[in-house]
Structure 1
Amino acid sequence: MKKIVLAIDSFKGCLSSKEIEQCIAEEIHRILPSCQTVCIPIADGGEGMLDTLIEATQGTFVSTQAHDPLMRIRPTRYGILGDQRTAIIEMAEINGLTTLSPIERNPMETSTYGTGELIKDALEKGFRRFIIGIGGSATNDAGMGMMQVLGAHLYDKQGNELEQGGKIMEQIARIDLNHLHPALKEATFIVACDVQNPFCGPQGAAYVFARQKGASEEQIRQLDEGMRHLALLIERDFSYNINKVKGAGAAGGLGGAFATFLQAHLQSGIDLLLDAVDFDRKITNADWIITGEGKADRQTAEGKVPAGVLKRAKKANIPVMLIAGKVEDKACLQQMGFARIVKISPDNLPLEEAMRPEVTRENIRRAIGRELIVNNE
């Protein structure tokens, strides 16, 4: 009897990981009724990680309120893993791009303040172990908003205390950590980080990610200047070279703040999640693994879900099929080692139409059905 494992990232703005895997499993069972399918909903540190880990560990959610990127109070949540000791926070739940309309996005103004509020809430409930997912942010404030909630004070040259947003970074003359929340001394943080970008510079947070967060070319330059200024200040006052930390530029520099001020360990989000869901055991004796994401290209190799799945599958000598709504750099993906690469959307289908959930489901069924019929092994 065949066994096929499904471990697919969400198609952002369209279908969740669970919905995609359910659709594929139904098509597999239609064509191969005796085939065993194992569905492992998955994410890489961004949207979906919270739900995935809570489901995988039989954890619970905590409902609360916090400030969104533009400092508006709104309902939000974080989770407690099944061990009842570890708090999991997905920063995108309160400070992510999806919390803002396109016209509201402006990383000069947006803040990680709400992420700090969730950490503080968990600290005051007695939790000292944290897993933080920082993908999908709407921010580029180097985590300064988060640190302010946790007790840091930021001052300009005149001694005035600064407020929020990426715009304040170049104004910071002194960071006072004397009043940090006392529970932080006992807290440990693992940060799920799906990029390796440095804090600043051509491959840093501002130049690589700020445009998608609403920044103009001039604002990108200003944000990078602010982060360069902050990096020099951190090295001068805390003897810490933030630009040597891989992933310090993740989430607009939030990764760097965690590493610098909270001694966090930055870890591949996909590896953290695969361990949490006991992936290596679940793929035992599988004939195939199907993974995927909305768009597959050369960036897929940079810590994305399919790359993490492929790495584990190679160790177990299991072939991997990659599916995606759109496929670019196919030669690069083949070199990575995917046995099959399947594009589900026809070339002539407009993106808006392709991203309608019912259209995506039908395209997935057709593509998977075609692969199973042609390559029924």
Structure 2
Amino acid sequence: MKKVVVIPDSFKGTLSSTKICEVVGAKVKEYFPDCEVVLIPVADGGEGSVECFLNALGGKKVYVKAKNPFFEDIDSFYGLIENGSTAVIEMSACAGLPLVEERKNPLKTTTYGVGQLILDAAAKGVKKIIVGLGGSSTNDGGCGAASAIGVKFYNNKGEDFIPVGETLCEIERIDMSSKIDIINGIEIVTMCDIDNPMYGPTGAAYVFAPQKGADHEMVKLLDEGIKCLSQKIKKDLNRDVSKVPGSGAAGAMGAGMMAFFGSKLQLGIETVLDTVNFNSVITDADMIFTGEGRIDCQSLRGKVVIGVAKRAQKYNVPLVVIAGGADYDIDEIYNFGVTSIFTINRLPEAFETIRYKSMENMEFAVENILRLIKRIKANK
């Protein structure tokens, strides 16, 4: 083989995409020393997204003081790539669930810090900002982030305030006129890998708020707040984003990114593939390796494997999927461009046991795949 592209998602709870790239890349070099190996670690927009882009494309990490989910100052960050013309922001860097520790409470948390990161990147003259949604502790519909860039929210007393989950229904009027000018004209793309609407049984609060610390009564309150926000956006901004797939992502931050920032929502993997010029990268590739922790019906809904597979199919490049496990109802995946699937786990063991063997199991699986390829090529 002359060229191999490695572009895996992480194996949640076991191996990062960067570590998988290292393992596969090293094994390919061991069996095919002259092979060019292109490593593209992938994250879904949540924690680790900035590192993945920097590892794949180079660039630098920028450190900024910003507000955490409880309006406290923290040291946060974002990435600059493409010679400083593009910023990559993961909202988890200042609104993430790990930052609240034992204080989980989506009634009180804010995305204000995300807006601060966006504003800092804009002030540096970037032409494009990629915002990754994922792992948030918030349910404020992006109102905090909007407040940071100058959008005003007024209550029925005419007072402006920064809405959080519990105060969304207090919004009487939204005023975009004081939005800071440097945001205008910047292309903003939001990475979003779910298709939930803003509110309702499959919306932001009911599906995601429980993992952020909400009990049943709190979920109902949060859902009503998001519904109120959608009505105010429709009335004051003349936009109905409530049912747009992905508008419910990250506590309805997806909706806020569209309404307040003029962003488009895009599948995370499509954003990654476009940013790294994947089509050009694979045109002369002999093989692509991708994978994720579990291949199942969810994998067919636009996750990393399918996104990569569709492009591999377009350019007729063989695609090998390496996974922790594979479900029984995935035959359809082969229609999208997947050539073969290999699972790494060798023995039927509980996850809590086998997770600690992930590295050696990954090495074992990759080595055997490459042994097979080398033997086949030797016989030609």
Q: TM-score, normalised by structure 1?
A: 0.88
Q: Does 1:295 align with 2:316?
A: no
Q: Is the 8 A contact 1:110 1:138 kept in 2?
A: yes
Indicate whether 1:322 and 2:321 are aligned.
yes
Is 1:145 aligned with 2:144? yes
AA aligned to 2:79 is G
Residues 22-60 of structure 1 show CA distances to partners (whole Å, capped at 9, x for unaligned) of: 112333444555655332222333333322333444322
Q: Percent identity?
A: 39
1:41 corresponds to: 41
Contact 1:291 1:323 in 2 (8 A): yes
Change (3 A) 1:120 1:38: closer
CA–CA separation in structure 2 for the residues paired with 1:19 and 1:63: 24
Distance verdict in 2 for CA 1:288–1:211, change over 3 Å: farther
Instruction: Assess, with a 3 A threshold, how the Cα gap between structure 1 residues 126 and 320 changes in structure 2: closer, same or farther.
Output: closer
Give unpaired runs (5+ residues) of structure 2. none
Q: Is the 8 A contact 1:91 1:137 kept in 2?
A: yes
Cα separation, 2, equivalents of 1:165 and 1:205? 14
**2:54 alignment partner AA:** I
> Residue 303 of structure 1: CA displacement?
2.7
Task: State the partner residue of 2:82.
Answer: 82
Alignment of 1:227-238 (within 5 A): 227-238=226-237
- What pairs with 1:1-377 in structure 2 (closer than 5 Å)? 1=1, 3-31=3-31, 36-101=36-101, 103-127=102-126, 129-328=128-327, 329-334=329-334, 336-346=336-346, 348-356=348-356, 359-373=357-371, 377=376
| CA distance in structure 1 between the aligned counterparts of 2:246 and 2:15, rounded to whole angstroms | 28
Instruction: Supply the distance in 2 between the matched residues of 1:10 and 1:289 (Cα, whole angstroms).
Output: 16
User: What letter is aligned with 2:169?
Assistant: E
Contact 1:321 1:340 in 2 (8 A): yes
Deviations 1:118-155 (A, max 9, x none): 11222334445322222332222100111111122323
Question: Per the alignment, in what secondary structure is the counterpart of residue 243 of structure 1?
Answer: coil
Distance 2:96 2:342 in 1: 30
Query: When the two structures are aligned, how many residues end up with a matched partner?
Result: 374
Answer whether contact 1:298 1:332 (CA < 8 A) is retained.
Answer: no
Query: CA 1:312–1:355 in 2, change beyond 3 Å: closer, same or farther?
Result: same
- The 1:354/1:156 distance shift into structure 2, 3 A limit, reads farther
Taking the aligned partners of 1:260 and 1:187, their CA distance within structure 2 comes to 15
- C-alpha contact 2:163 2:171 (8 A) present in aligned 1: no
Q: Distance in 1 between matches of 2:13 and 2:331?
A: 27
Answer whether contact 1:92 1:135 (CA < 8 A) is retained: yes
Deviation per CA, 1:293-335: give whole Å up to 9, x if none.
Answer: 2233222223321111111101011222222223334345445
Shift of 1:347: 6.3
Change (3 A) 1:259 1:3: same
Letter in 1 for 2:68: D
Cα-to-partner distance string for 1:196-243 (whole Å, 9 max, x where unaligned): 322222332223332333333333332222111211121122221112
Describe the superposition over 1:60-101 as per-residue Cα deviations: whole angstroms up to 9, x where unpaired: 221111122233322111122233333322212221234343
Deviations 1:160-210 (A, max 9, x none): 544453222233222233322232334332222222322222332223332
CA distance in 2, matches of 1:346, 1:145: 47
Equivalent-residue separation in structure 1 for 2:38 and 2:86 (angstroms): 27
Whole-angstrom distance in 1 between the partners of 2:149 and 2:113: 11
RMSD (CA atoms): 2.6
Asked if structure 2 preserves the Cα contact closer than 8 Å seen for 1:44 and 1:273, the reply is: no
Tell me: CA distance 1:197–1:124, structure 2 relative to 1, closer, same or farther (3 Å).
Answer: same
Determine if contact 2:10/2:292 at 8 Å carries over to the other structure: yes
- In 2, the alpha carbon distance for the partners of 1:373 and 1:127 equals 46
Counterpart code for 2:149 = L
- Choose 214-223 or 359-368, whichever is displaced more: 214-223
Deviation at 1:374, TM superposition (A): 5.3
Q: Could you say if the C-alpha distance between residues 295 and 95 of structure 1 is closer, same or farther in structure 2, counting changes exceeding 3 Å?
A: farther
Does the CA contact (< 8 Å) of 1:297 and 1:333 recur in 2?
no
Q: What is the Cα deviation at residue 355 of structure 1?
A: 3.5
Q: 1:258 to 1:22 in 2, by over 3 A?
A: same
Is the contact made by 2:119 and 2:183 (CA closer than 8 Å) also made in structure 1? no
